[in-house]
Amino acid sequence: MRLSLFFFSLFLLIGCGAETDSTTDANPTTNDDASSTDGEDSQDSDQEKSADSNDSTDAAGPDEQETLFVIDVRTKDEWDKGHVETAVHIPHTEIADRIGEVTEQKDAKILVYCAVGGRAGVAKKALEELGYTNVENGGGLKDVKGRFEDD
């Protein structure tokens, strides 16, 4: 169950993050230093923090550097109102078609989130159906922001 949620989140993250119009980019981060959120390399550090602080991830420990792709699968309007700074935006309805914009590695660590977790679950499932094996449903925006900004 935990693995399924992780994969769904990954799928969702990929879907949200593939749309790199103006405020998003598909720069992955490592699980090393995730405490900064001030803009320059904060995307990398935020994603690292998320991977480190989430006990629902089945991936590498703090010693191993593993890339985490954070994908916001909400609508463009929701994205524009606020999002995790390190995330990329791919609506859950586009995740299957656009995941390649973020990563094509089937074992890549992906965290997907939406408003409360429902669409993230749909995105996670879609990614898993495409063969992605390390997808996490991060839940809602508040949950994911808490992981990146607290700690």
For the chain, count helices (H), then strands (E).
Answer: 6, 4
Geometric angle at alpha carbon 72, from 137 and 121, rounded to 5°:
30
- 68 closest CA partner among 76, 57, 77: 57
Known catalytic membership, residue 16: no
* Catalytic residue (one of 102, 114, 123, 135): 114
**Any idea which residues carry the catalytic annotation?**
114
